[in-house]
Amino acid sequence: MRRIRMALVTAVALAASTLSVASPAYAAGDTQLGIDVGNIAWEQYTSTNADVQARLSETSTEDCNFYTGFWTDPANDRNDGTASTYGKCGKTTNGYMYRDGTKAWGPVAWRKRQWCADFAKFAFYWGGAKYTGLTAAAGSFRTYGINNGTWHGRGSGYVPRKGDAVVYDWDGNGSYDHVAIVTSYYDTSTDGNHYVVGGNQSDGVTHPQYSNWASSIVGYASPAAR
């Protein structure tokens, strides 16, 4: 689940610059659930709220980020139970959490771990998708897709849709190194291209472009209904 390599980010950033920062277009085949999940990821990237903008980069303490803080904050009713392992790392910003059953905007203490899956899980959660079984591991999205009948692996001929979680294996060695959320398209053919928003991409939240079946892509997990 290591962060995207700088050379890859540089290459795709040039392509991504051709897409204006506006609400991503929908494509035939997108589901409302996928649209909602994709929009959460997109809004994290484009929001003008100062607290949300602060989430776009981890702190100078490597991997210290808001999204892990959300999932490990003991005050959050949805915390994943790992707060004692991943302690606070010196920054607090506001965000929405459920506290004692009530949605509230308030302080979230940032915590440290590799956080691409924490970002993607955040998009699934606030987008209204089922998130049971998702963890801080990128590969948990593949397992989630298999368990919920929404996994589309290499060789399936699947065209990715908005809100899908893309699982990557950078080295082609059978590991699952990264996950991000599809937000929009360059075109929608099998051999086309799409854009993603993901966390822990060059130490922040970025918006690169990929070919639909780039060699690094293991497959796509579409969000399942709760």
Residue 214: closest CA among 154, 141, 143, 130: 154
- Give residue 14's pLDDT band: very low, low, confident or very high (50, 70, 90): very low
User: Looking only at Cα atoms, what is the longest distance across the chain?
Assistant: 47
What is the Cα–Cα distance from 204 to 45, expressed in whole angstroms?
A: 10
- Give residue 28's pLDDT band: very low, low, confident or very high (50, 70, 90): low
Q: pLDDT tens digits for 106-143?
A: 999 999 999 999 999 999 999 999 999 999 999 999 99
Q: Looking up tokens 């993603």, which residue turns up?
A: 196
Q: pLDDT tens digits for 147-196?
A: 999 999 998 989 999 999 999 999 989 999 999 999 988 767 778 899 99
Structural domain boundaries enclosing 94: 60-113
My answer on whether 171 and 190 are in the same domain is: yes
Domain assignment of residue 12, yes or no? yes
My answer on whether 37 and 129 are in the same domain is: yes
The pLDDT value given to residue 5: 39
Q: Is 54 helix (H, G, I), strand (E, B) or coil?
A: helix
My answer on whether 67 and 138 are in the same domain is: no
What is the Cα–Cα distance from 25 to 22, expressed in whole angstroms?
A: 9
Q: Is 42 helix (H, G, I), strand (E, B) or coil?
A: helix
Q: pLDDT tens digits for 199-210?
A: 999 999 999 999
- Of 113, 138, 155, the one marking the end of a domain is 113
Q: pLDDT tens digits for 94-115?
A: 999 999 999 999 999 999 999 9
Domain assignment of residue 226, yes or no? no
Q: Is 149 helix (H, G, I), strand (E, B) or coil?
A: coil
Q: Indicate the number of domains in the chain.
A: 2
Domain assignment of residue 29, yes or no? yes
Q: Looking up tokens 């610059």, which residue turns up?
A: 17
What is the Cα–Cα distance from 183 to 140, expressed in whole angstroms?
A: 20
Domain assignment of residue 176, yes or no? yes
- Of 113, 146, 181, the one marking the end of a domain is 113
My answer on whether 214 and 187 are in the same domain is: yes
My answer on whether 183 and 121 are in the same domain is: yes
Domain assignment of residue 90, yes or no? yes
